[in-house]
């Protein structure tokens, strides 16, 4: 070891202090303070898996599922294929899209995004900046730019650097909505749902699949899975009539199933009679009572008429709220302005059961405009727009 020569100044000492204990609130550096660096922890978002799980009652659609899956598997790796499922409200577009994408999850390790574009919402579709910001936050930590064009550029850049991912665009109103949200790079997949055809996408090589109602065999199988095969077998004629009244629309069948499940001892004939009355009233007031929208509305009317008085009151109050989601606290405040609400009213206020846990926030969508509704078979005044969970 070489000794320091007398009179030679000592080299400056390099001192590094690190405070890593979250319990330390104030630290004081004694002596000379040099450069100070603050490092924020970087939290990477998890790989998005935003699709809802497939329900055990899933029935039929094997032909459509196989057809679209084969088309997706034959697309070139350099492209971003677009597939569009079309059909009226309640036909099951979103459920089929989710079923297909779950089956293809292994091909898209970059994740699965589900975006509700609210294309048929009376208040207008979702804003592009809102949608882009939501998608970027699902894959990219940190602050985002404010402008729509910058957000779109960031989205394309971020997705170009990711492994292949699939994107479900739900409730598309026009082709421009899809073009704004296309990911960058290659190998990704876009599946969209729309109530109207989107022929503008044909020149981009998009595939379009128009859905039809369930046939009698599939509708009967769906009823048996939800209500039990014994109950369906006991009333064959009522089941046949119920399928005819709902025209095989999954949403209309689901509303009837909910009524029957709420009253397990009630014969199917009673539900058929109630739905038949609503259909006759619709036929006398609607110019097109056999269209899917009128059929779903009749089923919705029958489901509403089956509610208890407290549940019906809560349902009307919830329909007036300008919100996309409702949890237990908001429902309680709508009831009386306080945080108390009868459980019977909360559980019976929606045709599809509303979860009572605060962690679950079901999404809601208005399905019909304000229109006269029947009470006891007689038209009354104008009701608020009824709400149903989205995803059909």
Given a contact cutoff of 8 angstroms between Cβ atoms, the answer to whether 186 and 77 are in contact is: yes
User: For 38-64, what is each residue's pLDDT tens digit?
Assistant: 656 667 889 999 999 998 888 889 999
User: For 328-379, what is each residue's pLDDT tens digit?
Assistant: 777 777 766 544 455 545 444 444 333 322 222 333 333 333 333 433 333 3
Given a contact cutoff of 8 angstroms between Cβ atoms, the answer to whether 30 and 118 are in contact is: no
Measured in degrees and rounded to the nearest 5, phi and psi for residue 94 equal -65, -40
Given a contact cutoff of 8 angstroms between Cβ atoms, the answer to whether 129 and 181 are in contact is: no
CA distance 392 to 388: 9
Output 27-34 pairs: Cβ under 8 A, ≥24 positions apart.
none
User: For 200-250, what is each residue's pLDDT tens digit?
Assistant: 999 999 999 999 999 999 999 999 999 999 999 999 999 998 898 888 889
Q: Cβ neighbours of residue 35 under 8 Å, at least 6 residues apart? A: none
The CA-CA-CA angle for residues 312, 316, 317, to 5°, reads 115
């Amino acid at each position: 070891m070489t000794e320091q020569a007398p009179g030679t100044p000592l080299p400056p000492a390099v001192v590094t202090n690190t405070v890593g204990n979250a319990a330390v609130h104030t630290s004081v550096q004694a002596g000379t303070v040099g450069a100070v660096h603050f490092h924020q922890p970087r939290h990477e978002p998890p790989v998005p898996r935003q699709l809802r799980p497939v329900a055990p009652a899933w029935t039929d659609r094997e032909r459509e599922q196989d057809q679209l899956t084969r088309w997706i598997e034959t697309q070139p790796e350099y492209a971003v294929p677009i597939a569009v499922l079309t059909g009226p409200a309640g036909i099951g577009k979103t459920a089929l899209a989710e079923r297909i994408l779950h089956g293809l999850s292994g091909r898209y390790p970059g994740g699965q995004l589900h975006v509700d574009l609210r294309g048929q919402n009376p208040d207008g579709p979702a804003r592009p900046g809102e949608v882009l910001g939501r998608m970027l936050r699902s894959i990219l930590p940190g602050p985002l730019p404010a402008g729509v064009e910058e957000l779109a550029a960031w989205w394309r850049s971020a997705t170009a650097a990711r492994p292949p991912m699939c994107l479900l665009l739900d409730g598309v109103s026009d082709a421009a909505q899809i073009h704004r949200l296309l990911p960058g790079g290659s190998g990704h997949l876009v599946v969209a749902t729309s109530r109207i055809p989107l022929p503008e996408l044909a020149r981009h090589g998009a595939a379009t699949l128009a859905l039809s109602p369930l046939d009698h065999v599939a509708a009967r199988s769906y009823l048996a899975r939800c209500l039990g095969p014994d109950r369906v077998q006991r009333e064959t004629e009522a089941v046949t009539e119920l399928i005819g009244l709902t025209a095989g629309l999954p949403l209309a069948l689901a509303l009837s199933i909910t009524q029957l499940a709420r009253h397990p001892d009630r014969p199917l004939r009673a539900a058929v009679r109630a739905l038949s009355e609503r259909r006759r009233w619709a036929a006398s007031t609607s110019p097109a009572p056999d269209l899917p929208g009128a059929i779903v509305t009749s089923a919705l009317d029958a489901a509403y008429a089956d509610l208890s008085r407290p549940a019906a009151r809560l349902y009307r109050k919830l329909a007036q709220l300008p919100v996309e989601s409702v949890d237990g606290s908001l429902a309680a405040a709508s009831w009386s302005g306080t945080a108390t609400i009868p459980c019977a009213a909360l559980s019976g206020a929606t045709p599809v059961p509303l979860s009572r846990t605060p962690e679950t926030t079901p999404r809601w969508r208005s399905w019909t405009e304000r229109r006269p509704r029947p009470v006891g078979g007689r038209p009354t005044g104008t009701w608020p727009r009824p709400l149903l969970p989205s995803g059909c």
